Amino acid sequence: MLDIVSEIEPADHDAYQACMDRFNNVAKPIGSLGQLEPELARIAAMQRTPRMDISKKCLMLYCADNGVVAQGVAQSGQEVTTAIAQSVHRHASSVCVMADCVSADVFLVDVGMVDTVEGVETCKTMCGTRDMTTGPAMGYDDAVHAIGVGIDCVRRRVAEGYNLIATGEAGIGNTTSTAAVASVLLGCDPHVLTGKGSGLSDEGLVRKIAAIETAIALNEPDADDPIDVLAKVGGFDIAAICGTFLGAAACHVPVLIDGVISSVAALAACRLAPLVHDYLVPSHMSAEPAAKMIAEELSLHPVIEAGMHLGEGCGAIAMMPLLDMSYAVYAHAANFNDISVEAYDRDIACI
């Protein structure tokens, strides 16, 4: 499975520069679309052409449960993961409604739920992870399998013609697993990067931090082996998203990071294959403390700062229309050859 690392190539700097040159010739102040310009140019570099195509979009949404919820680290039980999966399957969830607005397809995959929802693609080896405060969350081979699921899902989507992929997840307790993985990979105290997730109380946050500390001390994950970290204190959804990033990079396809769970999966993928970084597109800044720290570690700059913490890939979906509008300007707006310099100077003076 990890042979895929050798398939990942650097993005094409010439395509990046050609895209930026075109932007600089559009009849507008240079750089006036801010971060949207270099992000679109990075997509050109990923696809190896200044004539990039992001017209066929999808979201890979992975559902999994986390045994650590037994420690009172979440405000709801694992039955909510099932309810979310059912809602997505009925195409009635928030992210499905948002995806419809940008003509993005949603693919739901069960990579480790306690329950099984009829009609949902199932690729799990376990019905949820074990409680990481009593032992490893999963076996090493289970983590490898989940990574492989993400790789396979991307390859199938690319074969179907999708050229922009968003990552999302659903699973009660997964911000606890995420904070544990981030703590190990960043070498940071759990107190610093652990947040309240979806509305946890102050008392719940204390339990959450204690669970993470216990899990790390007990399992001793190897920070130099991201798969070991995912297996011991991670989650199946994190591992599958990690595989999605690996697969997208190997296929030269841009992949959107969503919130903190996607972010820590991106960090793990980059530790496995540093060139994955060339294919990551940030979307929004999650409200979770670890999100900012991971973005800084990866030198990525999320465009949207809206305090979102819904999960499911909603932030990544929200980034899609911004990229579409940026591309529309890039491809169709007038350039300096279409108008006189005098007319341009006069119009700019009125802004």
Residue 319 neighbours by CB distance under 10 Å: 24
Q: Please indicate whether residue 181 or residue 75 has the higher confidence score (pLDDT).
A: 181
Q: Please indicate whether residue 77 or residue 154 has the higher confidence score (pLDDT).
A: 154
- Rounded to whole angstroms, the Cα distance separating 147 from 160 reads 20
What is the percentage of the chain residues whose pLDDT exceeds 70? 96
Single pTM value for the model: 0.94
Question: Which amino acid makes up residue 39?
Answer: E
**Each residue of 251-277: pLDDT tens digit?**
999 999 999 999 999 999 999 999 999
Cβ-based burial of 40 (10 A; exposed 0-12, middle 13-18, buried ≥19): buried
Q: Which H, E and C letters describe the chain, residue by residue?
A: CHHHHHHCCCCCHHHHHHHHHHHHHECCCCCCCCCHHHHHHHHHHHHCCCCCCCCCEEEEEEEECCHHHHHCCCCCCCHHHHHHHHHHHCCCCHHHHHHHHCCEEEEEEEEECCCCCCCCEECCCCCCCCCCCCCCCCCHHHHHHHHHHHHHHHHHHHHCCCCEEEEEEECCCHHHHHHHHHHHHHCCCHHHHCCCCCCCCHHHHHHHHHHHHHHHHHHCCCCCCHHHHHHHHCCHHHHHHHHHHHHHHHCCCCEECCCHHHHHHHHHHHHHCHHHHHHEECCECCCCHHHHHHHHHCCCCCCECCCCCCCCCHHHHHHHHHHHHHHHHHHHCCECCCCCHHHHHHHHHCC
C-alpha 85: how far from its chain's center?
A: 18
Please state which CATH number belongs to domain 2-10+55-332.
Answer: 3.40.50.10210
Which residue matches tokens 């037994």? 70
β-strand pairing of 255-256 with 164-170: parallel
Please, what is the angle between helix 174-186 and helix 289-297, to 10°? 40
Candidate list 37, 169, 288, 312, residue with the active-site label? 312
Which residue matches tokens 């699921």? 149
- Rounded to whole angstroms, the Cα distance separating 41 from 166 reads 18
Residue 307 confidence class, pLDDT cut points 50, 70, 90:
confident
**Each residue of 62-107: pLDDT tens digit?**
999 999 999 999 988 899 999 999 999 999 999 999 999 999 999 9
**Each residue of 24-51: pLDDT tens digit?**
999 899 999 999 999 999 999 999 999 9
Residues in Cβ contact with 344 at an 8 Å cutoff, skipping those fewer than 6 apart: 27, 336
Amino acid 218: pLDDT: 98
Amino acid 348: pLDDT: 44
Q: Please indicate whether residue 195 or residue 252 has the higher confidence score (pLDDT).
A: 252
Average pLDDT over residues 311-340: 90
Active site residue 203: no
Average pLDDT over residues 223-227: 98
Average pLDDT over residues 309-320: 94
- Rounded to whole angstroms, the Cα distance separating 7 from 242 reads 16
Residue 7 neighbours by CB distance under 10 Å: 14
What is the percentage of the chain residues whose pLDDT exceeds 90? 88
Token pair listed for 71: 């420690």
Question: Residue 206: is its pLDDT beyond 70?
Answer: yes
For the chain, give every domain's residue range: 2-10+55-332
Please, what is the angle between helix 236-250 and helix 140-159, to 10°? 40
Mean pLDDT of the chain: 94
- Rounded to whole angstroms, the Cα distance separating 172 from 297 reads 26
Separation in Å, CA 275 to CA 281, 283, 337, 347? 13, 19, 38, 43
